[in-house]
Amino acid sequence: MSTLWLFIAQLATLIGVLVALYRPLGDYMAATYTSTRDLRGERGIYRLIGVNSRSEQSWPAYLRSVLAFSAAGILAVYALQRVQEVLPYSLGLPPAGEHLAFNTAISFVTNTNWQSYSPEVTLGYAVQLGGLAVQNFLSAGVGIAVAVALIRGFAYRSRGTIGNFWVDLTRGTLRILLPLSVLAAVVLMVGGVIQNFNGFQDVATITGGTAVVPGGPVASQEAIKLLGTNGGGFFNANSAHPFENPTPWTSIFEVVLMLAIPFSLPRTFGRIVGDNRQGYAVVAAMATLFIVSLSLMTLAELTGAGTAPQLAGGAMEGKETRFWILGSTLFATASTTTSTGAVNSMHDSFTSLGGGVALVNMMLGEVAPGGVGAGIYGILVVAIIGVFIAGLMVGRTPEYLGKKIGAREMKLASLYILTTPTLVLVSTALSFAIPAVHDDVVATSILNPGVHGFTEVLYAFTSAANNNGSAFAGLTANTPWFDTALGVAMMLGRFLPIVFVLALAGSLAAQDKVPATAGTLPTHRPQFFGLVIGVVVLVSALTYFPVLALGPLAEGLQ
């Protein structure tokens, strides 16, 4: 079978699975957040934390709950790392350093899962399970909760509330993420992913020597790592490690886990606002961007210039032979178009243009389909900008789903769009503009000086600010500057957009719906999702093209 047909067969299989999941999973999530019934275990949680599940919150109260809960999570994960040596199952490992613990705590609470360390030799099972795995569930639950709050903004009429954060978080975690993760973990164990508490074991090698092999409860963490678009690996090699991702079919399954919830949330959106066609338009835009990205990255890797890539049938450096190029580019595209950041190949070893596509995927705002929750609220903000532009074209007040898009809504949408590029570009510039920082970055962190080294730094801050977590492996990031600067970028990149999204949700919920007129732009037709794609690409191209020209484009033209 030719490479083209293999590519088509792989893509068709993925699309078929996601299409099969779209309606049942999307409907289930809509029912979860619109149900008036609390489960027994949920009622116990509400009594414990003193929450009335029947009361709703204004957007400032919802925001305060998100920030307070996340701040508590950061402190808890930081503390667990700092006292690791006295915890059970610490495996004799020392506590993490102050800068690293700060960076890691923010990383996992913000759903970024950036790792400036080798997990298997840095963190014991108590921190992995009690800190990191717990935050894999909770950070994903926060993302879905914020997305549902924005969707309610479109669905509600003349309301001063947008839901209850504590109820949304509890339901998302217990009804969606936890049961799906249990099922996924069982499938992964069947596929060969390990699940044990064996610690470090000496094993005989085929050459007659010995090697130390770490074990651990991997399958349970792997499931939520992917399903919640978290991405932090149990091992340093992440999903390239055979204990995390043993076979080609487990790799495809892990891709499905990354995409299942983000690609089904548009159905949830359509159900809650009462028009499934709106969900189809959103998911069509997401799918188009995903397929184009996958095609470009695969083409770049298959046609890698040079004698070695040509003899190998493509650019195989940094890729596992069991996944080959097609399995590697599919995983990389899914990981960078969502906020997962997991890898089954080394992005730093991709061709300059292939690695550039991964970089652009994040720069687009990760809306194709984006992270759990973050993808749908990101593309809805883009849709608001799209209908505003369309309204200007025809000279009418723009409306989306019966809600007028005025000055307040556009200011919030604009601030949302500007936040991440500002963080990326300013942080990258400071890394080279401050003399002392520049010297440390060049001497300590950058393995490949020149254009590629610049791209490594740009990739790191793009990944952090977009809460992705993947990295170009040639960058040494466990330094005081990068631990601190990336931590700040992750925190601001997560919570500033949430502030604007929740303020936007409150503004929309307070409005009554206006009837559609002859001048209202239909938002369920192909021209609308084409407009959304155009806004995504245009905004990113204008913002990032100059810095891309200094990095991957310059390297690709050398």
Output the 3-class SS for 356-404: HHHHHHHHCCCCCCCCCCHHHHHHHHHHHHHHHHHHHHHCCCCEECCEE
Structure tokens of 371?
């992270």
d(CA 477, CA 460): 9
Quote the pLDDT of residue 409: 94
What is the tens place of the pLDDT at every residue in 512-539?
A: 988 877 777 788 888 888 999 999 998 8
3-state secondary structure of 200: strand
Helix axes 480-509, 98-109, angle to 10 degrees: 30
d(CA 413, CA 191): 44
CA distances 333 to 245, 423, 492, 505, Å, are 17, 23, 25, 30
CA distances 467 to 18, 138, 146, 424, Å, are 24, 15, 15, 11
Mean pLDDT, to the nearest integer, of 464-478? 87
Mean pLDDT, to the nearest integer, of 136-141? 95
Quote the pLDDT of residue 351: 86
Torsion angle defined by CA atoms of residues 197, 240, 492 and 429, in that order, rounded to the nearest 10 degrees: 140
Least confident of 309-318, 342-351, 486-495: 309-318
CA distances 156 to 151, 277, 509, Å, are 9, 18, 5
d(CA 40, CA 45): 9
Is the per-residue pLDDT at 191 higher than 90? Answer: yes
Mean pLDDT, to the nearest integer, of 261-270? 96
How many CB atoms sit inside 10 A of residue 300's CB?
Answer: 24
3-state secondary structure of 198: coil
Do residues 217 and 129 lie in contact, with contact meaning Cβ atoms separated by under 8 Å? yes
Is the per-residue pLDDT at 99 higher than 80? Answer: yes
Structure tokens of 477?
């990031």
Structure tokens of 90?
């610490």
Quote the pLDDT of residue 25: 97
How many CB atoms sit inside 10 A of residue 128's CB?
Answer: 24
Do residues 29 and 145 lie in contact, with contact meaning Cβ atoms separated by under 8 Å? no
Contacts with 190 (C-beta within 8 Å, 6 or more apart), sequence order: none
Do residues 357 and 264 lie in contact, with contact meaning Cβ atoms separated by under 8 Å? no
Please provide the average confidence, as pLDDT, over all residues in the chain: 90
Q: Which helix (H) or strand (E) holds 26?
A: helix 3-34
d(CA 315, CA 310): 8
Pairing verdict, β 200-204 and 210-214: antiparallel
pLDDT band for position 306 (cuts 50, 70, 90)? low
Of 328, 278, 238, which Cα lies nearest the Cα of 151? Answer: 278
The DSSP result for 209-258, as a single string, is: -EEEEE---HHHHHHHHHHTT----SSTTGGGSTTT--SHHHHHHHHHHH
Is the per-residue pLDDT at 307 higher than 60? Answer: no
What is the tens place of the pLDDT at every residue in 310-340?
A: 655 677 888 888 988 999 999 999 999 999 9
Is the per-residue pLDDT at 417 higher than 90? Answer: yes
Q: Which helix (H) or strand (E) holds 41?
A: helix 40-49
Quote the pLDDT of residue 116: 84
Is the per-residue pLDDT at 394 higher than 80? Answer: no
d(CA 129, CA 81): 12
Quote the pLDDT of residue 205: 80
pLDDT band for position 550 (cuts 50, 70, 90)? confident
Is the per-residue pLDDT at 558 higher than 90? Answer: no
Of 78, 89, 343, 81, which Cα lies nearest the Cα of 216? Answer: 89
Quote the pLDDT of residue 1: 59
Quote the pLDDT of residue 203: 82
Contacts with 16 (C-beta within 8 Å, 6 or more apart), sequence order: none
Tokens 């508490």: give the residue.
Answer: 197
Least confident of 36-50, 479-493, 541-555: 541-555
pLDDT band for position 412 (cuts 50, 70, 90)? very high
Q: Where are the alpha helices (DSSP H) in 217-247?
A: 218-227
What is the tens place of the pLDDT at every residue in 272-288?
A: 999 999 999 999 999 99
Of 296, 285, 436, which Cα lies nearest the Cα of 365? Answer: 285
For 117: left if phi > 0, alpha if psi spans -120 to 50, otherwise beta; the answer is beta
Is the per-residue pLDDT at 39 higher than 70? Answer: yes
pLDDT band for position 183 (cuts 50, 70, 90)? very high
pLDDT band for position 293 (cuts 50, 70, 90)? very high
Q: Exposure of 251 by Cβ count < 10 A (0-12 exposed, 13-18 middle, 19+ buried)?
A: buried
What is the tens place of the pLDDT at every residue in 226-244?
A: 999 999 888 888 899 999 9
